[in-house]
C-alpha cells in the first residue's frame, strides 16, 4: 500500500476503468464492476489488490500465496491457471506496462502548496534554521536544530531527524531521515527509481510507490541520488558515508557503516551488508549481494555477489588474487610480444 504521508489515493477504480487505462481485457474470472484501491507485488497479494505477472516463475516461487479475489494483470497464457486459484484476471500481452498505466490512475505523489513556501501544517521544531527560498510541504516534520540550506525542498510528509544538516538545493521526498544526517548540496533523496516497461506504444515509466529510510548519522554526498522503492523502502543504514556523485537504485538495502567513494553506482534491489567499502567508480548489476566487510577496488564492475570479508577488483570483478594473476599474465604476454623479433622480408 502506498504510504499516505507521501501519496494521494485516487481510487477506487473499477476493473472497467483499469481496463480502459491499461488496455487490458477483462477475463471471464472477473467482473467489470469489481473495484481496486491498492496495489502490491505478487509476493504480497491480497484480496482487492492489483498485481501483475509476466510469467509463471513467481507463481512457482510462491506456491502458498492465496490469490482469492486478487486482481492480476497477466498474459493470456496464465489466465486459466490464475483463475483456478481464485484470481480475477485482466489479460494483457505486456502486463508490466499495463500495470504502470493503471497505477497512475490509483496514486500520485502529494504535491507542494501553490500558496505557501512553508506549509502551515508542517511541524518545525525549535532551533531550526532555514535558508532563503526553502520550501517545506504539508505535514513534513523537521526536528530540533536542523539546518536547511537555501533553495532546498522538503516534500509533503517527509521527516528530518534532529540535528541533521541539509545543504543548498537539496530535494527530499517520500523519505524519513534519522538524527544527525548530513545531506550535501544538490543531493536528491526519494525521487522515482528507473523502471521502464516495454510496450508496443513505447516505453512506459513504472510509478514508484515506495519510500526511502535513512538511519542516523548518514552522509549523502553532493549531487548524489537515492531512489525510492517500487513498492517498499530503499534503506541506508546507520553511520554509512556516501561520497559525491553516487547513485543508489530503487529497493536497495544498504547496511551500517558502509563507505562508498565517488561515482559508485548501485543498481536496483542490491543488498550491501554492514562495513562494506567501495573504491571510486564501482558499479553493481541489479539484485547483487555484497557480504559484510567486503572490499571492492576502484573501477570495478560487479556482475555477481561477493562473499563476506572478501576483496574483489576488476571488470568483471573477481577475487583480488585472481585479478592480480590475470594482470600479471597479461603484462608478461605483452612483454614477450615486444621482444619477439620481426621476420625479415
Catalytic residue ranges: 250
Give DSSP secondary structure letters for 38-50: EE--GGG--TTEE
Give how far Cα 21 sits from Cα of 79, 200, 235, Å. 20, 15, 32
Joined together, the cell numbers standing for residue 16 give 472497467
* Phi, psi (deg, nearest 5) at residue 264: -65, 140
CA 271 – CA 177 distance, rounded (Å): 20
CA 84 → CA 198, 255, 337, distances in Å? 28, 41, 67
> In angstroms, rounded to a whole number, what is the distance separating the alpha carbons of residues 249 and 231?
13
238 prior amide bond cis, ω within 30: no
249, three cell numbers: 537504485
Phi-psi category of residue 202: left, alpha or beta, with phi > 0 → left and psi -120 to 50 → alpha: left
Q: What residues does 166 pair with on adjacent strands? A: 148, 183
Enter the C-alpha cell of residue 195: 523502471
How many of the other CB atoms lie within 10 Å of CB of 41? 14
Q: How many CA atoms lie within 13 A of 141 on its CB side?
A: 13
Burial of 331 (0-12, 13-18, 19+ CB in 10 A): exposed
SS3 letters for 145-206?
A: CCEECCCCEECCCCEECCCCEECCCCEECCEEECCCCEECCCCEEEECCCCEEEECCEEEEC
Cell, residue 242: 556516501
Cβ-contact 72, 87 below 8 angstroms: yes
Amino acid at each position: 500500500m502506498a504510504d499516505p504521508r507521501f501519496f494521494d489515493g485516487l481510487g477506487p477504480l473499477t476493473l472497467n476503468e483499469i481496463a480502459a487505462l491499461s488496455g487490458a481485457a477483462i477475463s471471464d474470472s472477473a467482473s467489470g464492476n469489481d473495484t481496486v484501491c491498492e496495489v502490491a507485488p505478487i509476493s504480497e497479494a491480497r484480496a482487492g489488490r492489483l498485481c501483475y505477472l509476466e510469467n509463471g516463475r513467481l507463481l512457482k516461487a510462491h506456491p502458498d500465496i492465496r490469490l482469492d479475489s486478487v486482481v492480476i494483470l497477466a498474459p493470456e497464457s496464465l489466465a486459466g491457471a490464475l483463475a483456478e486459484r481464485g484470481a480475477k484476471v485482466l489479460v494483457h500481452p505486456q502486463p508490466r506496462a499495463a500495470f504502470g498505466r493503471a497505477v497512475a490512475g490509483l496514486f500520485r505523489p502529494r504535491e507542494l502548496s501553490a500558496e505557501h513556501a512553508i506549509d502551515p501544517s508542517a511541524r518545525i521544531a525549535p532551533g531550526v534554521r532555514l535558508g532563503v527560498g526553502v520550501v517545506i510541504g504539508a505535514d513534513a516534520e523537521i526536528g530540533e536544530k536542523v539546518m536547511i540550506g537555501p533553495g532546498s525542498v522538503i516534500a509533503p510528509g517527509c521527516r528530518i531527524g534532529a540535528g541533521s544538516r541539509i545543504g543548498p538545493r537539496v530535494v527530499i521526498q517520500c523519505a524519513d531521515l534519522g538524527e544527525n544526517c548530513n545531506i550535501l548540496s544538490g543531493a536528491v533523496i526519494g525521487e522515482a527509481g528507473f523502471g521502464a516497461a516495454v510496450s508496443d506504444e513505447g516505453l512506459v515509466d513504472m510509478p514508484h510507490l515506495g519510500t526511502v529510510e535513512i538511519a542516523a548519522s548518514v552522509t549523502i554526498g553532493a549531487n548524489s541520488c537515492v531512489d525510492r522503492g517500487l513498492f517498499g523502502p530503499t534503506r541506508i543504514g546507520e553511520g554509512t558515508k556516501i561520497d559525491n556523485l553516487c547513485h543508489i537504485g530503487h529497493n536497495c538495502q544498504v547496511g551500517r557503516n558502509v563507505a562508498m567513494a565517488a561515482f559508485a553506482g548501485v543498481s536496483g534491489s542490491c543488498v550491501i551488508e554492514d562495513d562494506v567499502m567501495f573504491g571510486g567508480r564501482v558499479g553493481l548489476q541489479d539484485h547483487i549481494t555484497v557480504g559484510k566487510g567486503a572490499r571492492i577496488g576502484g573501477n570495478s564492475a560487479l556482475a555477481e555477489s561477493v562473499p563476506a570479508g572478501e576483496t574483489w577488483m576488476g571488470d568483471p570483478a573477481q577475487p583480488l588474487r585472481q585479478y592480480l594473476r590475470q594482470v600479471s599474465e597479461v603484462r608478461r604476454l605483452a612483454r614477450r610480444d615486444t621482444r619477439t623479433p620481426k621476420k625479415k622480408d
